[in-house]
Structure 1
Amino acid sequence: KAARPGRQVNVIGRVIESYTKRFDYGDVRDFTGHGVGEAFHSGLIIPHYDAAPLHGETIEENMVFTVEPMVTLGTIDYE
């Protein structure tokens, strides 16, 4: 429901972070989803945490992007 036309892309991260916090998981913030266009990684960034007010681009119909959070057992760090 967070990834609907008319919503800001940062809503996706807000929902992911809400879910991971509920279970005491972490979400690595150094990795994000991205837009997909003629180049696989387009300029659109999809954070997997609540990054508002940053990343306030509006989702449009037929927009293509990835959502690929890296969920950990309680930390935002990784090796």
Structure 2
Amino acid sequence: MLEGASVTVTVVGELDEELAGALRDAFSSHVLEAAEPVESVFIDLRGVLFADTAGLGGVAWCRRHAARAGVPCRVDLPIWRIGRR
């Protein structure tokens, strides 16, 4: 969702390898390739029921690319949702 110069990417469900790819794609199109400059990014993971290492790797990829672009990136992930299925 694009709100002015701030972008919120919301993830719901299981953050696994498949969803991590969708997260990277959404981040790329709404942040890295945005028509207007983006001033900040919020990755909302409060709706995530489970996150594995591939999913967390997708979040790390977004943070790394935001930093390279000079865009602050904040992540909200309840830590208790990370673990084994």
Normalising by structure 1, what TM-score? 0.30
Higher relative helix content: 2
Higher relative strand content: 2
Q: Which has the higher contact order (CA 8 A, sep 6+)?
A: 1
